Structure 1
Amino acid sequence: MTETMPAWASVLTMLIGSGAGGTIVAWALRRIDRRDMTITRDDLDAALASSSTIRDLQAKLDRDFERLDESERDRKALRRDVLRLELFSHTRSRAQHERQLEAGKEYVDLGGNGYGHARYEALKHDYVRRETQCDWTYQQ
């Protein structure tokens, strides 16, 4: 019989007949299904974006960032107020005059303007005048 049928055909017939064909087909189908079940990064991003937990977390983060921004604005406003108080206090010594100049520079850098900016310019001119005349005696 092997003379009329090639050897590989005999082996193939034996494998198919023994039920191994079902196993091979099942293995091939599992591989195909597994490839279809593979999750891509885009699929994962879309799933996470539609998650109610992620949406709630994002809403809380947005609210916290808004509070932080508001807090930062308030902090800058308070800092400008403190600098303005320092800037407009009565000058009694050279050290205080220099501190007022530093406060004035920081005040202007933080966006302060108007009377504070004018006071800073006046303090600068007064300091230069005192320095050139060597007059460091302040009125008490």
Structure 2
Amino acid sequence: MSVANAHPLILIVCAVIGSGAITSLVSWLLRKLDQRRDLERAIEASPTIRRLELEIYRQSLFLPTMSRMQHEHQLDAGKAYTEHGGNGAGHVRYQQLANDYRRRLEADNWNYP
């Protein structure tokens, strides 16, 4: 690109930067990001969402264990369940799964009925 051809392009770029268009665009993007973070925080703090999460983890815990991969997934769900305040039968089931996994690991027995 020659200097003569680049000159109008430089003028356009300088005009856009000087007009504040970039500042307006960046400000708009930052506002959108803040709104999204606020929404995510509101969802995270929602008691309804919390109850739904606990229920999903609990349902996963009580599924019949059919494979090592599922067993490991159930252990992850049990950990999340207890960390989110779940207790009672779900907590007992998590302990049963953890004990069974430890036993299978020691015996190298990954055959599930």
Aligning the two structures, in what range does the TM-score lie when normalised by the shorter sequence? 0.5 to 0.7
Q: In the alignment, does 2:108 pair up with 1:134?
A: yes
Q: In 2, distance between residues paired with 1:115 and 1:124?
A: 14
Q: In 1, distance between residues paired with 2:65 and 2:95?
A: 14
Moved over 2 A (4+): none
Q: In 1, distance between residues paired with 2:87 and 2:59?
A: 14
Q: In 2, distance between residues paired with 1:91 and 1:134?
A: 16
Per-residue deviation, 1:117:
0.3
Counterparts of residues 1-140 of structure 1 (less than 5 Å): 68=42, 72-139=46-113
Aligned residues: 71
Spell out, residue by residue over 1:111-136, the C-alpha distance to the aligned partner (whole angstroms, 9 max, x if none): 00000000000000000000000000
- Identity of counterpart residues, as a percentage? 44
Spell out, residue by residue over 1:5-58, the C-alpha distance to the aligned partner (whole angstroms, 9 max, x if none): xxxxxxxxxxxxxxxxxxxxxxxxxxxxxxxxxxxxxxxxxxxxxxxxxxxxxx
Structure 2 unaligned spans of 5+: 1-41
CA RMSD in angstroms comes to 1.4
Higher Rg: 1
Q: In 1, distance between residues paired with 2:108 and 2:81?
A: 27
Structure 1 unaligned spans of 5+: 1-67
Per-residue deviation, 1:72:
0.6
Spell out, residue by residue over 1:48-101, the C-alpha distance to the aligned partner (whole angstroms, 9 max, x if none): xxxxxxxxxxxxxxxxxxxx58x7100000000000000000000000000000
